[in-house]
Amino acid sequence: MNIRYLHRLRYFFEWVFYFTRFFFRQFYQQRGLQIASSLAYATLLALVPLITVMFGFLGGLPVFENVGNTIQTYIFNNFVPAFGETVLAYLRTFSQKASQLTITGLVMIFLIAIMLMATIDNAFNTIWHIRNRRNPVARFLVYWAILTMGPLLVGVGMFSTSYILSLPAISDVDSGFGLKERFLSWLPFLTTSVAFTILYILVPNCFVLRRHAMVGGITAALLFEFAKYGFGIYVRNIASFETIYGTLAVVPIFLIWIYTSWVVLILGAHITFCLSAFRFSMEKRGRKDNEWSFSDVYQVIYLLWLAQKEGKSMSSYEVRRGGVKAPQYQINEIMGHLQRVNWVQNTGTGTWILSRDMDELSVMDFVKIVPRPLPLEGDEENQGANPAGFEDLLSDYHESLAKNLNVPLSQLLQKTMEHNN
């Protein structure tokens, strides 16, 4: 019993160590800090259009009529540390002026907000190693969902909390335990967790396991709360910005906060991605930069073919669970490659189907479209990775190849010399 517990404890600590190493390597290789900085500047430029679009939509809903200012105040008081009221005053002024623009100006503001969403979309797909993009209609729907999600979450959370706490049974208990204050203090964290989780599910153009997105969302929300607390202490105790910039000090401070927020959000995205991509055995063996292999592509085609025979499609996650040893992001890369050569197609719902008739294609056709060498006999990495039929075909191929290549090397060198002369 004790030995089994020690083994599990050792495995847990090893898993945490190798996962952390894998996570930081991915974050560094994908230039997480650079992505956060580019998103911070884009957010600063698009913030007024973003707020105009988000709260303009919210104000158009009867249930949220005349509560836009309340929600804005709540967001900036709970999600922007220390200087939130100052920033909110500026943004309200800009937003009110923006709402008085002509149709052309409003269209430009809307396009700027959509461009920011496109930047976020590209950043997330870079993290998930996804090259193929959604069609324009699907992208617009996702962007619109993101634009309206934040204020809606806060609005629904505030009204739900007010309703629940106003119930007689709850209000009687609340008088003794202070439930209202406790719940309201947790509401920003809960809202942030839900918002981050939804972002990690919706934005990447691939299947994301919900429990992975939830872990990433909750972790990012915790980091966000710590960052908000630490940044608030920093702003209250460091007066250098006010000395240098005077009344404009809020601009660089707010920019730093936006950057910090994006770093936290990108960290959560990488955690979500790494939970699906991490392979303990591969990382422990030191396979840091392994790529997908010929056998992986064959297995993907094999599984899609089996699904086609049953009239079904498969998500990349289902393909991985079907036995493909490659990490999730490499399966996404395989799908992207097969889509570019017109062997598979996306159904538009996150699943894949074969787009070619396998009866009309030869093994040679398959070899030509896979940019990887055929697996060698005795290759430990590919041992057992191929179905039996393919193993037999490879064995015959290597026997024929060995027979044809079994000539003295000097003979080949002599022919090369004669050709060059």
User: Residue holding tokens 């709260």?
Assistant: 55
- Residue corresponding to tokens 């158009």: 60
Pair of tokens at residue 228? 């908000």
Query: Taking the mean position of all CA atoms in its chain, how far away is CA 272?
Result: 7
Taking alpha carbons only, the member of 27, 16, 14, 35 closest to residue 271 is: 27
Alpha-carbon span 352 to 349, nearest angstrom: 9
Per-residue pLDDT of the chain (421 residues; tens, 9 = 90+): 567 777 778 888 888 888 888 888 888 888 888 888 888 877 777 665 666 655 555 555 555 555 555 555 555 555 555 555 555 555 555 555 555 656 666 676 677 777 777 788 888 888 888 777 777 777 777 766 666 665 555 555 555 555 555 555 555 555 555 555 666 667 778 878 888 898 898 888 777 888 999 999 999 989 988 888 887 777 666 656 556 555 566 667 777 878 888 899 999 999 999 888 887 666 666 655 557 888 888 889 999 999 998 988 988 878 888 878 777 778 888 888 898 899 998 887 778 999 988 888 888 888 888 888 777 665 545 554 555 667 777 777 777 877 777 888 888 788 888 887 7
Query: Do 86 and 9 touch, CB atoms closer than 8 A?
Result: no
pTM: 0.70
- Helix, strand, coil shares, percent, the chain, to 5: 75, 0, 20
> How many angstroms separate the CA atoms of 335 and 297, rounded?
9
Q: Which two tokens stand for residue 140?
A: 């617009």
d(CA 395, CA 399): 6
What does the alpha-carbon distance between residue 296 and residue 303 come to, in Å, rounded to a whole number?
11
Alpha carbons 325 and 296: distance in angstroms, whole number: 7
d(CA 404, CA 402): 6
| Angle 188-211-345 from CA coordinates, rounded to 5° | 120
Number of Cβ within 10 Å of residue 255's Cβ equals 15
Of the candidates 308, 368, 376, the one whose C-alpha atom is nearest the C-alpha of residue 338 is 368
Run of H or E residues at 397:
helix 388-405
- Helix intervals (H) in 178-209: 179-202
According to the model, what pLDDT value does residue 354 have? 92
CA atoms within a 13 Å half-sphere pointing along the CA-CB vector of 369: 20
Q: What are phi and psi of 207, to 5 degrees?
A: -75, 125
Measured distance CA(124)–CA(389) in Å, rounded: 39
Instruction: Name 353's bridge partners.
Output: 345
Q: How many CA atoms lie within 13 A of 52 on its CB side?
A: 24
Q: Which domains does the chain have, with CATH numbers?
A: 2-280 (no CATH), 294-385 (1.10.10.10)
Q: What is the pLDDT of residue 380?
A: 46
DSSP code, position 80: S
Nearest in space to 133 (alpha carbons), one of 295, 325, 332: 332
Task: Say what the pLDDT of residue 343 is.
Answer: 92
How far, CA to CA in Å, does 349 sit from each of 138, 206, 316?
Answer: 10, 9, 12
